[in-house]
Copies of this chain bind each other. A is one copy, B any other.
Amino acid sequence: MAVPSRRQTRSPLQVRLAESVLSPGGWFATLDEFHRWLSEAANRTYMNVRKVPLTGLSGWEVERHTGNIRHRTGKFFSVEGLDVHVPDRPVSHWSQPIINQPEIGILGILVKEIDGVLHCLMQAKHEPGNHNGLQLSPTVQATRSNYTRVHRGRPVPYLDYFLDTSGHEVIADIRQSEQGAWFYRKRNRNMVVEIAGEIEVADGFCWLTLGQLHTLMSVPDLVNMDARTVLACMPFSGAELTSVLATALATAPATAPAAALAMTPAAASAAALAMTPAAASAAALAMTQAATLATAPAATPAGEADGEFRAALVRSCDPGEAGPHTMGEVLSWITDMRTRTDPQVRLIPLDEVRGWRRTDELISHETGRYFDVVGVSVEAGGREVGRWDQPMIEPFGTGVIAFLVGEIDGVLHALVHARVEPGYADVVELGPTVQCTPENYDHLPAGARPPFLDEVLEAGPERVRFETILSEEGGRFHNARNRYLIVHTDGAAGIDHPEYRWLSVSQLGELLRHSFYLNIQARSLLFCLTSLTGLTGLTGLTGLTRLISLTTTTPAPLAAR
């Protein structure tokens, strides 16, 4: 028959992904150059955001009878109420405001080989909720209202590559959920498309290798949520990928402070320029200290432990490695959790939520916890639209999002939690080991305190493999920041809880080929974890990261270490 079957004409994708991980530079020869570029971009653009009363948002109206807040066009999103019953939980019934945004947007990253190495086309982008100005976002980040140009802004650059992929290679293309605590059944299409031909690099865009992006994951509030979820959806799994990474690991000096080398003090201060002045000076100080730290002698026992950790992580990317659960068992467990749990969730008028106070200014919980619904007025240059108002969710406190990871038969596994969030389309998704804002639990019974939270908060620094403060979606959430942590435990064997399972990186990757298995926090955190496979999986970086985190964040809400 005439239908042609597929023929491979170059290295398999997994090999090319691994090579991109191992590449310290290309389009930007060093991250120094990237940071200079970023600070220049920051100088050419601005976004002024000020809080305004919810009742006075231009273009928005409060619906009579319901109190729902909606755009006058009926597009974009609305703020409504949600009534939730989840049986057999410490808190089994509540109501809350929630964002209802039924349209499916596109989050897309274009990739392309430059000098034989895969690069990702990233955009330096302002969002009103970003506390620090520019962050690195995907090539395209567009709601349907956005790209059908309801707000008559400029067209979205590169969008056509995602609306019509013919002639290009689709590397990932899957709908995924977003925050189920703040969004009602929000879904975005996560796409990675490889293009072969030439393409112009528009103002504010740049090409980065996976290795460079991995290193940049240690910079606070730089790689934005939309970029993280799309990067996580790349198929980062396979025996060949493992083989390339393992070979590099075996030949690399075990404890070279690669990340510090990739970011000179000059780069650090350039990066700081893209941040707000307060954060910037703290970050610059931290990075200078870290660079000093990085000149310390390399071969230490901690370095050896790092090498073992990284080898176990790389093995975890190989689907041929056996673990405690087969994929069949994992899928059966998910089916069981989704069948047993029967939350009753329904949209209600925003006026009918209980336990919340509403003023002209904002909506907040009676306890001051969880989040506020606030209004902002935005004035921007260098973005699609120059001026707009909108409601946003402003969460209370800085959250903790953490994986406990441990070796099982020499293969690293992460402990995932089958979570119920009211906004999920399908009852349960797998989340991180810990995902919470600790203060939200202070007034609740002890049984409500999240499992493993204390183990994460009390982990010694030698166990913390990754720690960075990262921002959530700046288009809907105002100053929503979480401390992302990867915490190494040697107690994996002893942990057995019906709502938790140990999964390998390749198993998580297999689930990520399908919709609604891994929640947005787990996807972000998985990318944090895989960022340790390449140049950056080393103590030098961890120290640098920790210093930056500790100096650039608001006073730490975590329990004292």
Contacts and interface: CB of A to CB of B under 8 A. Distances in A.
B493 A332 contact: no
B339 A408 contact: no
A336 B166 CA distance: 12
Given A332-B165, A332-B170, A492 B408 contact: no
Given A3-B492, A174-B331, 7 more contacts: A1-B493, A5-B323, A5-B409, A173-B335, A175-B338, A175-B339, A425-B426
A329 interface: yes
Contacts of A380: none
Q: Which 4 A-B pairs give the minimum distances between C-beta atoms? A: A173-B332, A2-B493, A1-B493, A5-B322
Residue with the greatest number of chain B CB neighbours at <10 A, chosen from A4, A5, A327, A336: A5
A6 B326 CA distance: 8
A494 B493 CA distance: 55
A171 interface: yes
A189 B3 contact: no
Given A335-B174, A336-B173, A235 B328 contact: yes
A86 to B, nearest CB: 15
A425 B185 CA distance: 12
A322 B3 CA distance: 12
A468 to B, nearest CB: 28
A209 B164 CA distance: 48
A502 interface: yes
Given A329-B170, A514-B514, A409 B1 contact: yes
Interface in A281-295: none
B3 A408 contact: yes
A173 B329 CA distance: 9
Nearest to A494: B2
Nearest to A190: B335
Contacts of A425: 425-426
Interface string A227-263: 0000000010000000000000000000000000000
A159 interface: no
B514 A331 contact: yes
B4 A328 contact: no
Contact of A335 (B189, B331, B406): B189
A1 B406 contact: yes
Nearest to A174: B335
A81 B103 CA distance: 25
A502 B174 CA distance: 20
Nearest to A514: B514
Contacts of A4: 324
A1 B407 contact: yes
A104 interface: yes
A39 to B, nearest CB: 37
Interface in A1-28: 1-6
A430 to B, nearest CB: 14
A409 to B, nearest CB: 5
A513 interface: yes
Interface string A405-425: 011110000000000000001
A6 B322 contact: yes
16 contacts: A1-B409, A1-B493, A2-B493, A3-B408, A3-B492, A3-B493, A5-B322, A5-B323, A6-B322, A6-B324, A6-B326, A170-B329, A175-B339, A235-B328, A328-B513, A426-B515
A449 to B, nearest CB: 26
A5 B324 contact: yes
Interface string A520-531: 000000000000
A408 B5 contact: yes
A323 B493 CA distance: 42
A1 B408 contact: yes
A404 to B, nearest CB: 13
Contacts of A332: 165, 170, 173-174
Contact of A339 (B104, B492, B493, B494): B104
Interface in A312-356: 322-324, 326-329, 331-332, 335-336, 338-339
Given A104-B339, A189-B339, A173 B5 contact: no
A328 B338 CA distance: 26
A329 to B, nearest CB: 7
A324 B3 contact: yes
Given A173-B335, A175-B339, A3 B329 contact: no
Contacts of A408: 1, 3, 5
A485 to B, nearest CB: 21
Contacts of A328: 170-173, 235, 513
Nearest to A336: B173
Interface string A171-205: 11111000000000000010000000000000000
A502 B170 CA distance: 18
Contact of A1 (B1, B170, B426, B492): B492
Contacts of A407: 1
A89 B312 CA distance: 53
A272 B513 CA distance: 47
Interface in A35-77: none
Contacts of A322: 5-6
Contacts of A513: 327-328, 331
Contacts of A336: 173
